[in-house]
Structure 1
Amino acid sequence: MEYSKVITIICLIFVGDSRGQAADFQTFPDGFLIGAASASYQIEGAWNVSGKGESVWDYAFHNMLKQVSDDSNGDIACDSYHKYKEDVQWIRDIGFDHYRLSLSWPRILPNGSKDRVNLDGIRYYRNLLEELKAANVTTVVSLYHWDHPEVLEEIGGWTNEVMVERFEDYAKVVFDNLGYLVDIFVTINEPEMLCFDEPVNSSEATARGLANDVASYLCVHNALKAHAKVWHMYDENYRATQGGIIGLLPVCRGWVSGDGVTEESIERYFQFGCGLVLHPIYKGDYSEIVKTTLADIDVYRNRSFSSLPVFTDEWVKMIKGTNDYFGLNHYTSRIPVMEYGARTSDSGVLEIRDKSWPITVLDRLEVVPEGFGNLLRKIRDEYDNPPVYILENGFADSGEILDYGRINYHYDYLSELLTAIIHDGCNVKAYTIWSLLDNFEWDRGYSISFGIVKVDFTSPNRTRSEKLSTRWWKEVIRTRTLIKPPAPGSTSSWGGCFECDLTNDKS
């Protein structure tokens, strides 16, 4: 073997990480965006100040919900309504390229109607977005992250088609007043979670009126209509002057192979998951697997109507193509196996967990990076390799300052992502950490943490402080390189003590 080739191989072995990735796979592509995310109800607080209306969550946590693990709510949360400048300073100091936030619909339209616009709410978001722009941070804004006005929930929420018109009215107010400050819009965050899954349904907030499968599919149907109407409104009236992009944001689980996994089980698992909302956007109408399977179930249940609403040809045409990018929230994966005999799911697929998978404190979110790569390759093949913006990915723990588990999670998932980009040609443009701050985590309250910045919820000031992951992310972003996770007690590869000045409490 030539001497130069020997040296090259030795170098690759030396600089590659312990999992066998070559050095090239550890460098982020030019122009790749790294950022962090949040959501209004989970961080803002100020639930009843400056003209804000009551949200579905305000009502639920004050009047209905009893199963929040620490008996808490989002009345104050991180108090980001008053501390937004401090939050932006953290974003600036860490070096993030972008920040994803959501707008509180009732903070802008207190009674859900365009007839009453809350100027204090507009002013708050304008100040926040201007602060981000001054810090040279790309702004990603979700119009809707599950917190609509309570008055709209009282007429059925997303099971009522009037929500399509109300959402369009709300979006127009946002575009008119704030659109010039927004680079990337998300219309609706995770329609599948909104309409079917925990924590929303388990918390009963938007579950009122969504008590069965018929109502859940109706919810999805109306959400797709609302998304399409708002996409077209932006495209026709605002894109030329504001220059942003806009899309829907599903949450998608990945999958890995195992005993009983087949091409059919994978396809059913995908189409009844994120494909439920993406197939109408990328292909036109719901997938045939979804339509025929649900029709068979309706016959079995002696229904005289379809549980899956039918789009007219006009709506199929209107919805198709309404994504400027493929937004993706992702946390975990499953082993999809066909069910035989009596079904427990509409898809006819069992979602198996491998007991060997590492778990987080939120036990439904196992650490399965291999499934992330499989999902990205499926998106590449299914939808003609669209530009993918990963807008949530994160790790739950108990609030540790020395959060080695979180660093290892992000390292493993980003290793899989870089392999998908560089080796498999997946068109991924951005990665977003959930979340910037520890925040209110729905039915788990403040008992679990996703943040890379610590928030002291016992402090009236909601004091923010560094975690180990804060420091790791600073260096990853500074070097644009995926740095190997530190071992406990180690010195950093760029010099100095990695844990210095952080708490010695590793519990």
Structure 2
Amino acid sequence: MDKQLKFPENFWWGSAWSAEQAEGRGTTGKAETIWERWFKEEPNRFYQGISSAVTDDHLHRFKEDVALMVATGHNSFRTSISWARMFPDGGTGEVNPQAIVFYRALFSEMKSNGIQVFANLYHFDMPAKLQDIGGWESREVVAAYVHFADTCFKEFGDLVEHWFTFNEPLGPILGGYLEDFHYPNLIDFKRGAQAAFFTILAHAKAIEAFKRHQLSSKIGVILNLSPTYPRSKNEADVKAAEIADLFYTRSFLDPMVKGVFPSKLVQLLEQYDQMPLDFQPADLDCIKNNVAQILGLNYYEPRRVKARLTAINEAGPFLPDWFFEHHIMPGRRMNEYRGWEIYPKGILDLCLDIKNNYGNIEAFISENGMGVADEERFMNQVGQIEDTYRIDYIKDHLAYVWRAIEAGCNLKGYHLWTFIDCWSWINAYKNRYGLVSLDLTTQKRTIKQSGIFYKKMSAANGFEYNMENLN
């Protein structure tokens, strides 16, 4: 049975990307980031040897890109402000006037076209010089980040509707300290715990600084969250899921939204001697008193786990995997290109968790999307990508967002990843996510079928959906 799903008035329709993935280096002055450093050291680890030097050249094409935002139905858009561009000496010192000119021009162009500016302050792009003094393991870097954030509030506060301290802060901890997909490529949980703690402290201190500006906007954080499902109701599977959830969901969600750390996680880290070494009572007070005012939810796939069936080598590094194994559910629907399960109902379960356990904080879906390789296969005779699979993916997930709103979840919008096909960490342009395709040779942008659909959906504030697809 088809039903017209209508969303609340003033619902945020938009998408998201980041500075390092879209702007290009340009000539406005920019410090080296950890991604540029890593590419110099190990270009072989980057897909097809493509760096972030050019990406979408958004730095020089932003007016064209804002026009494409309008053409694809955006009333809001999240980008990030490059710390390395704002402070080209490496993250501190004097602010770069050219960066201020660029971001004010971009944000003004967006606002004049009816597009709300959602500005994120950190999206994985640590200035390399700050990584050299410890990165997120360093209090000095925390202070430098707060100075950067405070500068942004001062320079762009009149143009930004919503601020975000971090995008997916769990990512650099997993990649940089546990799983080897982020610079500095360490395997050391205890150092990762320290970096995680100082990231959370930086979030709180940035919010503390934000409050002093008395802006009309709000500030929050963007977290990548997946509901955790045990393989079965067996007690061992349920316990495994609880521990996985502590590491991957509650570790950042609780302190950044509630202001406190999960006691069970703290007890576990104490038991295994994995607590950070540097934390003070004043830090905990700051975290408690400065929590997110709005929450972005990045959802791509569920997390499915089971009790471990094999022994751990305790002489090896401590990892969350000591307590569970990942479960491959028979019959799961997959995005074969990315290797992720497609489970739209997970977005409902995630939103209900936020409603029931986190005070129903104002929230929105800040990322959700489908990356597909070799999309040129689906190009028609006029050069447009016919990505009906992406349209179906968006509708299936939004139907559960609609159901979450009907259930009382305080959801204000939906942002797709991403706007124009952009450079992805290590994977470059292997998988395409955009509403708009990008020709890497000519930089030509062409709206995909999904972009046409997105415009119609935004204009109607909803879409028609076969409700039999919901379970």
| TM-score, normalisation: structure 1 | 0.83
- The CA distance in 1 between the partners of 2:176 and 2:225, in whole Å, is 14
Match of 1:169 in 2: 147
Residue 250 (structure 1) aligned with residue 223 (structure 2): yes
1:105 aligned to which of 50, 66, 83: 83
One-letter identity of the residue aligned with 1:473: Y
1:334 aligned to which of 303, 320, 325: 303
Judge conservation of contact 2:298–2:366 (CA < 8 Å) in 1. Answer: yes
How many aligned positions are there?
A: 448
- The CA distance in 1 between the partners of 2:311 and 2:207, in whole Å, is 41
Residue 465 (structure 1) aligned with residue 449 (structure 2): no
Judge conservation of contact 1:38–1:434 (CA < 8 Å) in 2. Answer: yes
Deviating more after overlay: 196-205 vs 363-372 = 196-205
4+ aligned runs moved over 6 Å, structure 1: none
Paired residues for 1:43-192 under 5 Å: 43-45=22-24, 47=25, 49-192=27-170
- The CA distance in 1 between the partners of 2:223 and 2:239, in whole Å, is 22
Judge conservation of contact 1:255–1:372 (CA < 8 Å) in 2. Answer: no
Residue 318 (structure 1) aligned with residue 286 (structure 2): yes
1:315, distance to aligned residue in structure 2 (A): 2.1
Judge conservation of contact 1:187–1:247 (CA < 8 Å) in 2. Answer: yes
- The CA distance in 2 between the partners of 1:159 and 1:364, in whole Å, is 31
2:16 aligned to which of 37, 40, 57: 37
- The CA distance in 1 between the partners of 2:174 and 2:206, in whole Å, is 23
- The CA distance in 1 between the partners of 2:432 and 2:8, in whole Å, is 30
1:154, distance to aligned residue in structure 2 (A): 1.3
1:50, distance to aligned residue in structure 2 (A): 1.8
Deviations 1:249-292 (CA, angstroms, capped at 9, x unpaired): 21111244642566544433322112101212334432122112
One-letter identity of the residue aligned with 2:405: I
One-letter identity of the residue aligned with 2:161: D
- The CA distance in 1 between the partners of 2:129 and 2:142, in whole Å, is 15
Structure 1 residues 199 and 224: alpha-carbon distance in aligned structure 2, compared to 1, 3 A threshold: closer
- The CA distance in 1 between the partners of 2:78 and 2:450, in whole Å, is 19
Aligned CA RMSD, in angstroms, stands at 2.2
Structure 1 residues 312 and 433: alpha-carbon distance in aligned structure 2, compared to 1, 3 A threshold: same
Match of 2:394 in 1: 410
Judge conservation of contact 1:272–1:347 (CA < 8 Å) in 2. Answer: no
Structure 1 residues 229 and 114: alpha-carbon distance in aligned structure 2, compared to 1, 3 A threshold: same
Match of 2:382 in 1: none
Match of 2:432 in 1: 449
- The CA distance in 2 between the partners of 1:410 and 1:115, in whole Å, is 43
- The CA distance in 1 between the partners of 2:358 and 2:322, in whole Å, is 21
Structure 1 residues 198 and 312: alpha-carbon distance in aligned structure 2, compared to 1, 3 A threshold: closer
1:341, distance to aligned residue in structure 2 (A): 6.1
Deviations 1:407-435 (CA, angstroms, capped at 9, x unpaired): 1111111111111110x221111111000
Structure index of larger Rg: 1
| Unpaired stretches in structure 2, ≥5 consecutive residues | 313-318, 379-384, 467-471
1:173, distance to aligned residue in structure 2 (A): 1.5
One-letter identity of the residue aligned with 1:161: R
Match of 1:351 in 2: 326
Deviating more after overlay: 342-351 vs 162-171 = 342-351
One-letter identity of the residue aligned with 1:293: L
Deviating more after overlay: 61-70 vs 340-349 = 340-349
| TM-score, normalisation: structure 2 | 0.89
Deviations 1:162-183 (CA, angstroms, capped at 9, x unpaired): 1110101111211111121111
Match of 2:381 in 1: none
1:228 aligned to which of 195, 199, 204: 204
Match of 1:214 in 2: 190
Residue 377 (structure 1) aligned with residue 352 (structure 2): yes
Deviating more after overlay: 434-443 vs 104-113 = 104-113
Specify the SS of the correspondent of 2:114: coil
- The CA distance in 1 between the partners of 2:299 and 2:177, in whole Å, is 15
Structure 1 residues 353 and 341: alpha-carbon distance in aligned structure 2, compared to 1, 3 A threshold: closer
Judge conservation of contact 2:73–2:459 (CA < 8 Å) in 1. Answer: yes
One-letter identity of the residue aligned with 2:464: I
1:484, distance to aligned residue in structure 2 (A): 4.2
1:113, distance to aligned residue in structure 2 (A): 4.3
Structure 1 residues 170 and 69: alpha-carbon distance in aligned structure 2, compared to 1, 3 A threshold: same
- The CA distance in 1 between the partners of 2:328 and 2:35, in whole Å, is 31
Judge conservation of contact 1:34–1:98 (CA < 8 Å) in 2. Answer: yes
Per chain length, whose mean CA-contact separation is higher, i.e. which structure has more relative contact order (CA < 8 Å, sep 6+)?
2
- The CA distance in 1 between the partners of 2:321 and 2:275, in whole Å, is 11
1:482, distance to aligned residue in structure 2 (A): 2.5
Specify the SS of the correspondent of 1:106: helix
- Percent identity over the alignment is 26
- The CA distance in 1 between the partners of 2:95 and 2:323, in whole Å, is 46
Specify the SS of the correspondent of 1:196: helix
Judge conservation of contact 2:33–2:128 (CA < 8 Å) in 1. Answer: yes
- The CA distance in 2 between the partners of 1:309 and 1:374, in whole Å, is 35
Match of 1:483 in 2: 464
| Unpaired stretches in structure 1, ≥5 consecutive residues | 1-12, 17-22, 299-305, 486-507
Structure 1 residues 204 and 114: alpha-carbon distance in aligned structure 2, compared to 1, 3 A threshold: closer
Judge conservation of contact 1:193–1:199 (CA < 8 Å) in 2. Answer: no
Specify the SS of the correspondent of 1:169: helix
Match of 1:499 in 2: none
More strand by share: 2
